Amino acid sequence: MKIGCYSSVTGGVLGLLLLGAGVRNCPADPALPAPVPINRDAGRGNLLIVTVTLESGEQLPFIVDTGAGRSLIDRSLESKLGQPIGTALCQSWGRVYTNNLYTAPKLLLGGAPLQITDSAIIAFDCQNDSPVAGLHIMGVLGMDVWEHYCVQLDFPAGKMRFLDARQSNKTNWGRAFLIVPLNDQDPRPAVAGNLLGQLEPHTLIDSGCNYDGWLMAKPYEQWTNRAVAPAPGEARTPNGLFHGQKYPLVFIERQDVEADGIGLRFLARHLVTLDFPEHTLYLRRQSSGPLFESGLKSTPMPALNDLVAAVLEEDGPATRRELRRIEQGRDNRQEKRVARKLAATLDASPRPTPADIAPNIDRIALGDCRPETATVGWLEPQANRIPLNSQIASPLLDSDSIYATGLYAHPPSRYVFQLGGKWRRLRGTAGLLTAFQSYAPGVVFVLRADGREIFRSGAIRGSQHADYDVKIAGAQTLELIVEQAQEGNGGDWALWLEPQLSR
């Protein structure tokens, strides 16, 4: 049997489509799986992962991907699958791969065997998704599985539930949307309406996309072109609109494809019920904004949530209003300091160089100073916040705790400050953004004074930190450099945290 496949836009996960009708080979009324746990960071920047059990008892992490037409199993397991029953041609990011097709092994989830259309599975190299997931991904469960089930995704509870829609009370499932084929050639699940509030064309429901979603070129340009006056109901970054409902802090990418899409971070704002046999999507909204995954060992400062939203929307009056509320409230001293520094990032006034600071000021945070030059390996240089991006919505500087000042420094990065020989000491710490610690390859933090190296950390990975306290008396220039610890820098969101100069 020969299968043609192509890749969809899924943030790294392949959307595979069977071209041609298949023969179902599934029991008529199988037992439904029991509720199964999903990863706590699903929809919070990560993919949706469940633990699948083989008949041998081996447990493997699989991605749940409604944007994939066919299920995949990692090539490392081919020796356990018997003889191939055919091949599959798969296209991903412009490259075509020939993959072996096997009789699907028994895959158990929630104590019950999963139904798979045609009882066939494609062997594929799934490791491209492992850095995103932070796990050694061993497979993808696509629509050849999900088309047989009504599943409910409860992100706050960390649960996936398999439901009998015929026997269920749907009162609390939320608003219903008809699920239709994406187009005449592509049967993957779609709904009318994109995140711009437009009802055409159909939009792919893609749980294998770990951000809010994407727009085709023309609607994306409408969404981002601030020079054009918005039409009634039209969204503007970073807000989205879906079937008349406003969604703040929606981050959308442009993709040169033939359909729009909604992804996991958008879905995670809801209790999601995907009743595929009855072709219905139910969304019951549970969160106004995206679900944040701080992963912090310290308190994540929920009092700052409204301020964060105002800053991300670049709403100056709302930011000032929220800052006044925090200043007048009972929030602790560190929360107020973080709030002041974050609100100040909307101030476009020029900052002084360290050499320009008045002599009576004996301490200054580098995040409050203007560098002579600044370069980073991903996104844009930014002080005292994370730059606006589609991968993580929180602008707060965090590395197991929340910090008020610092420099975003994804490698290769370099910040150069003019000191004018007026400072004696630099101290602070450095680490990786909490959301990416689990799969960042690692970084090395380096300090140079007048071109001479005065500090070099070891390889910093995970929750490790690099503390520095160096003498810089008489130095004219200071360089803060971040290097890759090894080949590859995906996820290396490095941060210089509270770097402070003193006289």
Q: What is the pLDDT of residues 168-184, one digit of tens each?
A: 999 999 999 999 999 88
Half-sphere exposure of 101 toward its Cβ, with a 13 Å CA cutoff? 18
How large is the average pLDDT for residues 233-247? Answer: 71
- Predicted confidence (pLDDT) per residue in 206-218, tens digit: 999 888 888 887 7
- Give 92's pLDDT tier (boundaries 50, 70, 90): low
Written as six digits, the tokens of 166 are 């015929």
pLDDT for the residue 27: 44
pLDDT given at position 125: 86
More confident residue, 466 or 490: 466
pLDDT score at 4: 36
pLDDT band at residue 87 using 50, 70 and 90 as cut-offs: confident
DSSP code string of 91-103: EETTEEEEEEEEE
Give the HSE-up count for residue 316: Cα atoms under 13 Å, Cβ half-sphere. 3
Please name the helix (run of DSSP H) or strand (run of DSSP E) that holds residue 139, with its range, or none. strand 139-141
Helix H or strand E encompassing 49: strand 49-54
Cα distances from 174 to residues 105, 205, 239, in angstroms, run 36, 17, 22
What pLDDT does residue 15 have? 42
CB 34 within 8 A of CB 198: no
Query: Above 80 in pLDDT, residue 448?
Result: yes
Q: Residues 97, 89: contact at Cβ < 8 Å?
A: yes
pLDDT digits (tens, 9 = 90+) for 261-275: 999 999 999 999 999
pLDDT digits (tens, 9 = 90+) for 379-414: 899 999 999 876 777 899 999 899 999 999 999 999
pLDDT reading at 296 higher than 50? yes
| pLDDT score recorded for residue 347 | 92
User: Where does the pLDDT of residue 225 fall: very low under 50, low under 70, confident under 90, or very high at 90 and above?
Assistant: low
Q: By mean pLDDT, which of 286-295, 318-327, 347-356 is the weakest? A: 286-295
Of the candidate ranges 10-14, 111-115, 123-127, 241-245, the one whose mean pLDDT is the lowest:
10-14
Phi and psi at 267, nearest 5°, equal -60, -35
At 421-431, the pLDDT tens digits run 999 999 999 99
Please report the pLDDT score of residue 373 as a whole number: 97
pLDDT at 25: 42
Give residue 318's identity as a one-letter amino acid code.
A
pLDDT at residue 456 is higher than 60: yes
Contact between 237 and 276 (Cβ < 8 Å): no
Q: Quick one: pLDDT at residue 16?
A: 43
Return the minimum-mean-pLDDT range out of 49-58, 302-311, 379-388, 491-500: 302-311
Q: What is the pLDDT of residues 343-380, one digit of tens each?
A: 999 998 999 999 999 999 999 999 999 999 999 999 89
pLDDT exceeds cutoff 60 at 5: no
Task: Kindly report the average pLDDT of the chain as a whole number.
Answer: 86
Report the SS3 class of residue 210: coil
Which pLDDT score, from 0 to 100, does residue 29 have?
Answer: 57
CA 53 to chain centre: 27
Distance separating alpha carbons of residues 480 and 374, to the nearest angstrom? 9
Please give the pLDDT value at position 332.
84
Measuring CA to CA, which residue among 183, 468, 498 is closest to residue 365? 498
Query: Tokens at residue 476, please?
Result: 């004219």
> 383 — alpha (psi -120 to 50), left (phi > 0) or beta?
beta
Q: Is the dihedral of CA 88, 90, 95, 96 positive or negative?
A: positive
pLDDT for res 12: 38
pLDDT of residue 13: 39
Q: Which residues, at least 6 apart from 282, have a Cβ–Cβ distance to it below 8 Å?
A: 170, 173, 174, 175, 176, 177, 271, 272, 273, 274, 275
Give every CB contact of residue 221 below 8 A, 6+ residues apart in sequence.
Answer: 254
Per-residue pLDDT at 186: 86
The secondary structure of 428-475 as a DSSP string is: EEEEE-GGGTTT---EEEEEEETTEEEEE---B-TT----EEEE-TT-
